[in-house]
Homo-oligomer: A and B are copies of this chain.
Amino acid sequence: MGKIKNAFYAQSGGVTAVINASACGVIETARHHRQQIGKVIAGRNGIIGALTEDLIDTSKESRSAIAALKTTPSGAFGSCRYKLKSLEENRAEYQRLIDVFRAHNIGYFFYNGGGDSADTCLKVSQLSKTSGYPIQAIHIPKTVDNDLPITDNCPGFGSVAKYIAVSTREASFDVASMAKTSTKVFILEVMGRHAGWIAAAGGMASDEDTQIPIVILFPEVTFNRKRFMTLVAQKVKRFGYCSVVVSEGVRSSDGGFLADQGLRDAFGHAQLGGVAPVVAGMVKEDLGLKYHWAVADYLQRSARHIASKSDVAHAYATGAAAVKMALAGKNAVMPTIERVSDQPYRWKVGEANLKRVANKEKMMPRSFISADGFGITARCRRYLEPLIRGEDYPPYQKNGLPKYVQLKNVPVKKKLPESFKV
């Protein structure tokens, strides 16, 4: 019994359509190694669960409930936006983590998140050195923003990309049929505050077989109103309509978010969010064209019903690989997706040192954005295509709704006398 340690697993940051598939990979793989890993204990609401000893006993979940995580979107154990401070700034938090780990015999720390979470995970990985408490910390990549370095792509991104590509195609078909007497410009706002990966996916809606006029506004390219309007007007003239995919993070020449410079409520207060209505207003003002706009928001990142098959596979595989890395004695690493070939698409799980991952953002390469700044290149297509390929439908209930699991999330009995305030 002495060598059996429990594992801690937590979800961090914005959730995705497939982060639970990673959880499934972790738990199923751990269950196959009961001689080394006792229980997988999940943090309720991410790292906050560890700090407050608000822990979930995943061994209380049936095999089928855990399997259903693979087809259930969002974070089954709750997530959080919380970044550990440095050891110097908040020693109490680290001491508390060690207390909780020790009390629950936790020897493995699996953290499922993006760049900030990789940083937290790295700090935890250093605890064994700084505190003497033996803990192995493995980071599992997750972010719809696709901005983690080293890994070819981030689980979570492929499904958003597929959703945006499919939705852009569908809405464009709609506008095309209405354009003669009604809407001529459709504007879809997508996520991506810093990197334009998701916006780029909108460009996939058009391909050789199905040509659609699409203009993309990337956060990497400063918004030029005049050039944008000229291009939209050209497309409307040629095709009768135009679709615009705009990243929430697009910036005007003064460096501010375009979204922030528009709307005021009835009292004159600035109104948060919605770059789509701002762009729509400009289209009306400059071109006098009828428009419609949509803001996909959470719909895009929770759309498990149209998840990408490769994305689900990546998410599961990195979760499973994290456990195997832990069992191999590793610490401060992250499983990555390595692309072996584009066509046919082949990939394998690689390994990155967490120091090289934490707090770094991978932007769209300039070579992925067309020369005029409003579209994607063939190279970008070659990169994106395998990531949105394949469908992986969830099961459906008889009433027409997807069957998503809500776990029991049975709490682990607290063992520490003190509570901890985050």
Where the two chains meet, the residues of A that have a C-beta atom closer than 8 Å to any C-beta of B are 11, 14-15, 17, 44-46, 48, 72-82, 162, 165-167, 169-171, 173-183, 186, 188, 204-205, 207, 209-210, 261-266, 268, 271-274, 276-278, 280-281, 292-299, 301-306, 308, 385, 388-391, 393, 396-404, 406
Contacts and interface: CB of A to CB of B under 8 A. Distances in A.
Given A293-B295, A294-B295, A297-B292, A304 B400 contact: no
A102 B156 CA distance: 58
Contact of A79 (B178, B294, B299, B399): B178
Given A82-B181, A271-B263, A401 B166 contact: yes
Contacts of A179: 78
Contacts of A388: 399-401
Contacts of A274: 274, 277
11 contacts: A46-B180, A170-B404, A174-B298, A183-B298, A204-B400, A272-B277, A272-B281, A292-B298, A294-B296, A305-B306, A391-B393
A298 B171 contact: yes
Nearest to A72: B173
Contacts of A272: 277, 280-281
B401 A204 contact: yes
Contacts of A404: 169-170, 173, 210
Contacts of A186: 298
A45 B181 contact: yes
Contacts of A264: 263-266, 268
Nearest to A211: B406
A24 to B, nearest CB: 15
Nearest to A165: B401
A119 to B, nearest CB: 17
A253 B116 CA distance: 46
Contacts of A304: 170
A400 B165 contact: yes
A45 to B, nearest CB: 4
A180 B80 contact: yes
A207 B263 CA distance: 37
Contacts of A78: 176-177, 179-180
Given A11-B177, A73-B174, 7 more contacts: A74-B174, A165-B401, A170-B305, A271-B281, A277-B277, A388-B400, A391-B396
A397 B165 CA distance: 13
Given A274-B274, A399-B207, A301 B174 contact: yes
A148 B308 CA distance: 37
A176 B271 contact: no
Chain B CB count within 10 A is highest, among A48, A177, A273, A278, for A177
Nearest to A270: B266
Contacts of A398: 389
A170 B299 contact: yes
Contacts of A173: 72-74, 302, 404
In the A-B complex, the 9 residue pairs with the smallest Cβ-Cβ separation, listed nearest first, are A75-B177, A294-B297, A388-B400, A170-B302, A45-B180, A74-B173, A174-B302, A389-B400, A171-B298
A385 to B, nearest CB: 5
Given A263-B277, A305-B170, A385 B400 contact: yes
Chain B CB count within 10 A is highest, among A166, A396, A401, A406, for A401
Contacts of A45: 180-181
A46 to B, nearest CB: 8
Nearest to A276: B295
A272 to B, nearest CB: 8
B205 A175 contact: no
Chain B CB count within 10 A is highest, among A207, A276, A297, for A297
A379 B376 CA distance: 49
A277 B271 contact: yes
A71 to B, nearest CB: 12
A56 to B, nearest CB: 13
